[in-house]
Amino acid sequence: MAAACALLRSVQDLAQEVRELHGSDAISYLEDPPTALQFHQNWLNPNRPCVIRNAFNHWPALHKWTFDYLRPGQGPSAATKKEMCGLWKEIELRMEQSSLPHLYIVKDDSVAFCQRILTSVRDELASNISSFKTLIDKLQAPAEGPSPIRASVGSAPQQIAESEDSEAEARSTRSSPEESGTCIGSKHVSVAVTPNGYADAVYKDKFVMPEERSMKLADFLDIIEKKTSSPGVYYIQKQCSNLTEEFPELIGDVENHIPWMSEALGKRPDAVNFWLGESAAVTSLHKDHYENLYCVIFGEKHFILHPPTDRPFIPYELYQPAVYQVNEDGSFAVVDQESAEKVPWIPVDPLDPDLSMYPAYSQTRPLHVTVRAGEMLYLPSLWFHHVRQSHGCIAVNYWYDMEYDIKYHYFQLLDSLSNVIKNSGLNRKHEADQEEKMT
């Protein structure tokens, strides 16, 4: 028992020392992306998380990925784009025909109207949102009439036509939905469905996985937007590189790797994942063997983080695996995966930890981090994390396999020592002693 006590004290000191030395009580913010060397020295090697701002401002996804863009029948199709180019050509022709090059002819008798339409179209082109077609219709209508007036519009149409052409050219090697004319909303996507929002989590005495349902992205969006009702909580969270596997059309709106990270690690990511879900969808506390760059595109993600050195105070138990299945009446059944081996998982919910069952958890100091749209979280390998989100949050993350270096082996040692402490019952005894001292 004396040896176990000494062991417990040592792992407590370790956790405390890491908190003090590496500042794992607070998250650091970088205002610009680091170089590969800076990232390696300051974050990757010390295994320290940080939030990086302005790391992916250049991604079209940041302004493009709205629910309307992802829906079928919305957003500019290839045909609409063609029509748009045709219109600009017509405007240019009219400008040429008129003796004043910066004027063009419309029937409406309001100069302000023309300017408003053109400004709107330019803005639409810049932000690429869904009412593009309506604006084109408005623009077309005045051009048909018999009583033209002249309206000053400067050189905006010319500039737009040029930037449109060069953008289309730049993206011609990619297959974004609007270029290819495909509507990704009509594509099938794998969605995790649960009764309570907890996929891959402990429920009663089982480790329960979600029902994996294949459904059209548009139908999924209807549920998220409460346009249709369907029992359960829905979350696109399939983690086997679902962005590249299920939505290859969207990859051109982001990047297929993060250059400075690939350089720092000397490899490309194992997976690029796409996440979109309801606010009720929660990812239970766990850790991964990945260096994780987590980019929020829309909404917010709320992370609760524990450094790997908190492992001795984070309990694991063995659970029978099971899956949720939705019955015809909309109720959920929990179906055992009888032939599957038991799974070690963490029973503690950091939002409401059962400290009478798991008193050692009170010795941890979780770090709460909100990652907002446009921000990237570096979540180092082996850090425990629990994740919530704002409703309809969209995110993309990059999983780079960790280096199985000495850090990994030290963690394995800590894991074994944690089991020794658990089996000695000392964590509970320590807590009982603390309570006794207080009474």
**Which parts of this chain interact with ligand AKG (CB under 6 A)?**
237, 275, 283, 288, 292, 294, 301, 385, 387, 397
- CB of residue 187 to ligand AKG, shortest distance in Å: 21
CB closer to ligand AKG out of 39 and 399: 399
Q: Output the smallest distance, CB 235 to ligand AKG, in A.
A: 7
Instruction: Evaluate whether 384 touches 310 at the Cβ level (below 8 Å).
Output: yes
Closer of 294 and 345 to ligand AKG (Cβ)? 294
Separation CA 328–CA 335 (nearest Å): 15
The two three-digit tokens of residue 68, written as one number: 């309307």
CB of residue 252 vs ligand AKG: minimum separation in angstroms?
A: 22
Minimum distance from residue 393 beta carbon to ligand AKG (Å): 8
- Are 244 and 18 contacting, i.e. CB atoms less than 8 angstroms apart? no
CB nearer to ligand AKG: pick between 128 and 237? 237
Q: Please, what is the minimum distance in Å from the beta carbon of residue 194 to ligand AKG?
A: 12
C-beta of 88 vs 399, nearer to ligand AKG: 399
What length does the chain have?
439
Shortest CB 213 distance to ligand AKG, Å? 17
Give the span between the Cα atoms of 130 and 318, in whole angstroms. 49
Among residues 371, 375, 374, 364, which one has the least CA distance to residue 387? 371
Cβ neighbourhood burial of 232 (10 Å; 0-12, 13-18, 19+): buried
Which of residues 104 and 275 has its CB atom nearest to ligand AKG in the complex? 275
Q: Tell whether the torsion through CA atoms of 59, 65, 71 and 72 is positive or negative.
A: negative
Q: Closest residue (Cβ) to ligand AKG?
A: 283
Residue indicated by tokens 């009509």: 186
CA distance 299 to 282: 15
> Toward ligand AKG, which CB reaches closer, 117 or 305?
305
